[in-house]
Structure 1
Amino acid sequence: MKKILLISNMYPSESEPSLGAFVKNITSSLANVHSVELNVIDYKTTSKIKKILSYCSFYFSIIKTLMRKKFDFIYLHFASHSSLPVILLTMLGMKFNIVTHVHGGDIKYLEGRNRIFFSIKKVVVKKILQISTKIIVPSKHYAEYLQEHYGSFDNIVIYPSGGVNIDVFKELAILKKKDVIGYAGRLVKSKNVSLLIQSLKKFPFLKLEIVGEGEELANLKKLVEELNLSNQVSFLKGKSQKDLSEWFNQINCLVYPSSSESLGLVPIEAMACGTHVILSEIPAFLDLREVGFTFNSSRVADVTSLEHSIQKLYDSSEDELNLSITHNKQLVNSIYSHKMVDKVLKDVFK
């Protein structure tokens, strides 16, 4: 049994059940065979002052823990935000066995973010990658992007972020609402939820449910009012995994028009629940098609293409749609279920 300190600036709690939920799934897998101690931020704040104070407390806690205790591994999530204290201590001469798990905007600039801040993050991430024993990435294309932009590494492990808990995300005996489509995730510019809202103008018979929170929430609500779509669009708060699974089972289709994903775990979880998905044509989702998943797709940031994909779904026959659902569920179970991917993670911490 190894002693592991897991560090993450995103971790779920009762008040924030969707905050980095997959990190908790990963923790649970590790805790079955190892001793895992947490040093995490499990809440959100919109106040800049409170956010600065929370990170100061977070960093101080990491330094204090590492100076008082010895661990076999330090396991870092969201390296751009969580690794500074570890880098500092290594510069002071301390030695650690570091496993760095990079996600989303850790290594790739996302639309709507501050470019200067991203430049600073890039320096931090490059440093932690250079001193890491192992680097975990969620997908093949993300590994290729990292190699292209951050240097050559021979210690990269591809592990799809805990995989899908098929005991939670599964098809339930719930009647689907055929006229309801949905989106679930962070509400930031790079997710292009505004395009999904705009596409509803062509489909007055459809309802859209948006699950999640983020910096774009106010702008998206304003857009709904401007387009007179208040009777078609509903905004729902973040959900626990159990509640999210039930919601997937209720909606007819999950639409993910994102311009960048490191994996796209949410659509995979939706497919595990027997839900149709419409995905943008980005590397992460093209990887899913490459391994056999079937779904409608739309060009990135193209409302007309998105409208066509939605129309194509509703023009498809029930037999065709049911065949796709069964096929995708089988693929999730055989490739992305947490039981299938667990061994990858456990091998990292031998």
Structure 2
Amino acid sequence: MKILLISNMYPSEQFPSYGVFVQNTEKILVQHGIQVDKIVMQKKTSKLSKLFSYASHYANVVLTGLTKNYDYLYVHYASHNALPLLILKKLKKNVKIVTNVHGSDVVPEVPSQEKYQPRVNDLLQHSTKIITPSPYYKGLVEEKYKVHNPIYIFPSGGVNKDLFHPYADKSKAYQELNLDPTIRYLGCVSRIDVGKGWEYYLQAIAKAEQQMPTSYKYLYVGSGKDEAAFKEMIKTLGLEEKVIHFPLLPQSSLAYVYNAIEAFVFPTVRKGESLGLVGLEAMACGAPVIGSQIGGLKDYIIDGKNGLFFEPKNVDELASQLQAFINLPEDVKQQMSQQALQTANRYTVDVIAEQLPTIFFDEVEK
């Protein structure tokens, strides 16, 4: 089988985490003997370079699709890749498209993303098969687009257990991050951007610590458009001594973060949170997840077992859950950690790797 992988997000040396799950799916296909060519974009930082990159990307998709034959065109991010594929489909009707939808493909985060929705709908209607990251997101696709094409679930490349696993000796994690090993930490890994809930995390920390001061500190790993507002809020709330901010880190360093924290805080407010792979990666390192009861998080967090839920945007409830976790007896924290590990084990690359090739070989409509 020969597949053309198409994506406007793909890792580079400068941005190794950008679209890394797309690269992970490519590796799975190749490991199963499938030939994979790719037309992908890497992250650009200027508007002009983005414009030229998209123009070249779109032209390459259409030209390659017309002049070469593939069993499937496998596309990640319907919203930003639909246009050239729809053009190609008109010119070459027998082309088979497998569309992997996630995130803002189905639930736009800002008004400017709404303009892509008609194309997303058209692409899904013309796709031979559709892949979604979670049962939750599959339901969204079915409800919103009324598609009759088969929809499969594949959890975004899975968790790499070679990288994300609990350390027997946590001292390495503290050392690599330059953290004090005598202090306990909770943490969050996310872009500092709209819909990520960073502001509710900071406000909840301030409220929790005001009501019940602790020796805990709180990590935040990430960068983004709202970083200036993020830093200003830390000052306004007087959290300079409580919040430790790291910029965007490569996946290899995230393993240190997940091993340094007792629990992972996932304050997203995005209905388009199609899976929440970072939460599962944290669980794979033994960190329970204190997460918003929203999106794909509802498919793997079991309240009181492997994590705690709170209502999205509810600062009071998040603050209460932070306090609740901190006050848990040590044996209960260990039980939650073990439950988190068991949950993550269902999403490891080894476990799910067989699912993706099966989707492409499966000719039975579901």
Which residue is 1:49 aligned to?
48
Equivalent position to 2:351, from 318, 330, 340: 340
Amino acid of the residue matched to residue 100 of structure 2?
H
Equivalent position to 1:226, from 228, 236, 257: 236
SS of corresponding position for 1:127:
helix
Which residue is 1:164 aligned to?
159
Kindly indicate whether the alpha-carbon contact (under 8 Å) linking 2:9 and 2:40 is maintained by their aligned counterparts in 1: yes
SS of corresponding position for 2:16:
coil
- Aligned residues with identical type, % of pairs: 35
What do you get for the CA RMSD once the two structures are aligned? 1.9
TM-score where L is the length of structure 2: 0.89
Separation in structure 1 between the aligned mates of residue 64 and residue 216 of structure 2, nearest angstrom: 52
Separation in structure 2 between the aligned mates of residue 93 and residue 20 of structure 1, nearest angstrom: 28
Sort the Cα spacing of 1:158 and 1:87 in 2 relative to 1 into closer, same or farther, 3 A.
same
The alignment of Structure 1 onto Structure 2 pairs a total of residues equal to 343
Is there any run of 5+ residues in structure 1 with no aligned partner, and where? Answer: none
1:200 pairs with 2:205? yes
Per the TM alignment, residue 293 of structure 1 is displaced from its structure 2 partner at its CA by 5.6
TM-score where L is the length of structure 1: 0.92
Separation in structure 1 between the aligned mates of residue 333 and residue 60 of structure 2, nearest angstrom: 51
Amino acid of the residue matched to residue 227 of structure 2?
L
Per the TM alignment, residue 92 of structure 1 is displaced from its structure 2 partner at its CA by 2.5
Kindly indicate whether the alpha-carbon contact (under 8 Å) linking 1:17 and 1:238 is maintained by their aligned counterparts in 2: no
Separation in structure 1 between the aligned mates of residue 26 and residue 340 of structure 2, nearest angstrom: 27
Is there any run of 5+ residues in structure 2 with no aligned partner, and where? Answer: 175-180, 362-366
Which residue is 1:144 aligned to?
139
Separation in structure 2 between the aligned mates of residue 93 and residue 42 of structure 1, nearest angstrom: 27
- Structure 1, residues 42-64: CA drift from partner, whole Å, max 9, x if none? 2231x333322221122122223
Amino acid of the residue matched to residue 182 of structure 1?
G
- Structure 1, residues 139-162: CA drift from partner, whole Å, max 9, x if none? 111111111111132400011111
Pairing 1:281-320 to 2, within 5 Å after superposition: 281-289=293-301, 294-320=306-332
Separation in structure 2 between the aligned mates of residue 129 and residue 258 of structure 1, nearest angstrom: 26
Which residue is 1:84 aligned to?
83
1:349 pairs with 2:345? no
The farther-off stretch of 86-95 and 133-142 is: 86-95
Kindly indicate whether the alpha-carbon contact (under 8 Å) linking 2:136 and 2:295 is maintained by their aligned counterparts in 1: yes
SS of corresponding position for 1:263:
coil
Per the TM alignment, residue 259 of structure 1 is displaced from its structure 2 partner at its CA by 1.3
Per the TM alignment, residue 254 of structure 1 is displaced from its structure 2 partner at its CA by 1.2
Kindly indicate whether the alpha-carbon contact (under 8 Å) linking 2:199 and 2:230 is maintained by their aligned counterparts in 1: yes
Per the TM alignment, residue 292 of structure 1 is displaced from its structure 2 partner at its CA by 9.8
1:272 pairs with 2:277? no
Which residue is 2:226 aligned to?
216
Separation in structure 1 between the aligned mates of residue 340 and residue 84 of structure 2, nearest angstrom: 42
Separation in structure 1 between the aligned mates of residue 60 and residue 292 of structure 2, nearest angstrom: 40
